[in-house]
Amino acid sequence: MSIELAFRLDRGDFSLDLSLALPGAGVSAVFGPSGCGKTTLLRIMAGLERSAVGHLRVGGRTWQDVNQFVPPHRRAVGYVFQEPSLFPHRSVEGNLRYGLRRSQGNGDNSRLEQSIELLGIRHLLARRPHQLSGGEQQRVAIARALAMEPALLLLDEPLAGLDEARRHEILPYLERLHRELVLPMIYVSHSREEVARLADHLVVMDNGRVQAEGSLTDVFARLDLAIAGQPGAETVIEGVVDDYDPRDGVVRVNSDAGPLHAVLGQLETGQPVRLQVQARDVSVALTAPQDSSILNVMPARIEDLAEQGAGHVMLRLRVGDAVLLARVSRRSARELSLQSGLEVHAQVKSVALLG
């Protein structure tokens, strides 16, 4: 199953023109500045923007093309709006059952139970929406969409309206959905952190157009995009826990970049993990350092480099099958004569566990 779409929309001051093929599983993040058309794209997919012209096929079913327009209430879609949007005249349970009853009758409660469990909202069922915090409301709204067993879950910046603490309260639930459900999700966000933690596939939008698209690791490492030019630029590497040394707490992760060592706390062998490497924590050396305190030193090749600000150069390194960003000073780049194609040794000072 996959999601194919192509749409055009013209609203005078804003136009959207894009075509995409998104994977039928996992999280596809749509990333971009506000006003770039991310939300409009989601609304088009849900059938809430009738003036958009184009086609949309989800898992072999056509939701929209030249000849037909499936109205929003007949699309197997779950939509989580930026603000929680619970019905104030219904209890939490009444909210959850509203979509459930209309999508599959009253018979099957298993998906409802699963949604309640996944979002941890069992203790809230009897409450009214106004008695919940913003974060709780948003968890209920996500569960409400999930309970209908949609073919596609659309999330429109579900954390944007929340403060930092609430955001970190909900992120683990979203990561859990990602791990435990095969349901394809499209996650609109302008937050790097959310994208790094949740996305498998990434679409970068700007001004109603698709600027870049691909796997998260590839797109994050592209130097021609603004996304790599930010000071907090990082690379995301996925791997599997291979070993845990109880003497000093060092975990060895088999990743696409080769074995990585880091102090991440105790992890189960065989557990899949998502690691984050900050570009500023990666340095390069022309010869392999002999007696360094840095745990991870790996042979690498410089694939690309771009100047960043007045004093820095961002390098894209190929390490094994993975890509790492490294941020070095412009002086080092000059003195070491760093250039594309050069073989170096990448030193990774710090690796963080995402989620």
Q: Does 9 bind another protein (CB under 8 A)?
A: no
Q: Other C-beta atoms within 10 Å of 54: how many?
A: 17
# of chain residues touching another protein (CB under 8 A): 24
The dihedral formed by the CA atoms of 49, 51, 52 and 56, expressed in degrees to the nearest 10: 70
Residue type, 301: R
306 CA to centre of own chain: 25
Contact letters (x/-) for another protein, 145-184, by CB under 8 A? Answer: x--x------------------------------------
User: Any idea what the Cα angle at residue 215 is, between residues 235 and 189, rounded to 5°?
Assistant: 80
Whichever of 130 and 247 has its CB closer to another protein, that residue is 130
| Among residues 12, 60, 89, 164, the one that binds another protein under rule CB under 8 A | 89
Token output for 52:
């958009």
Q: Which of 270, 300, 278 is nearest to 353 (CA)?
A: 278
d(CA 253, CA 272): 9
| Pairing mode, strands 185-189 and 61-64 | unpaired
Kindly state whether residue 85 participates in binding another protein, applying the rule CB under 8 A: yes
Site for another protein in 22-51 (CB under 8 A): 46-48
Range in contact with another protein (rule: CB under 8 A) among 28-36, 67-75, 207-215, 273-281: 67-75
| Interface of this chain with another protein, residues 108 to 137, rule: CB under 8 A | 130
Q: What are phi and psi for residue 199, nearest 5 degrees?
A: -85, 150
* The binder of another protein chosen from 26, 72, 299, 355 (CB under 8 A): 72
Q: Which of 7, 31, 63, 81 binds another protein (CB under 8 A)?
A: 81
Whichever of 118 and 148 has its CB closer to another protein, that residue is: 148
Tokens of 80: 């989580």
Dig out the tokens for 23 from the structure. Answer: 């994977």
Among 98, 267, 285, 336, binds another protein (CB under 8 A): 98
**Per-residue tokens: 247:** 């003497």
Cβ at position 98, least distance to another protein in Å = 5
Q: Does 73 engage in binding with another protein (CB under 8 A)?
A: yes
Element (H, E) at 54: strand 53-58
Rounded Cα–Cα distance for residues 343 and 345 (Å): 7
Indicate the residue among 98 and 244 with the shorter CB distance to another protein. 98
From residue 272, give the alpha-carbon distance in Å to each of 259, 275, 320. 14, 10, 19
Member of 37, 78, 158, 239 binding another protein (CB under 8 A): 78
Binds another protein (CB under 8 A): choice among 103, 114, 215, 332: 103
Footprint on residues 315-334 left by another protein (CB under 8 A):
none
Name the minimum Å distance from CB 18 to another protein: 22
Residue 244's Cβ-count burial label (10 Å; 0-12, 13-18, 19+) is: middle
Our CB check for another protein shows the closer of 24 and 99 to be: 99
Residues 177-206 that bind another protein (CB under 8 A): none
Q: 345 is written with which tokens?
A: 């040794």
Our finding on whether 11 is near another protein (CB under 8 A) is no
92-104 vs 134-146: helix axis angle to the nearest 10?
A: 20
Q: Smallest gap, in angstroms, from Cβ of residue 72 to another protein?
A: 4
| Chain residues in the site for another protein (CB under 8 A) | 46-48, 71-75, 77-79, 81, 85, 87-89, 98-99, 102-103, 130, 144-145, 148
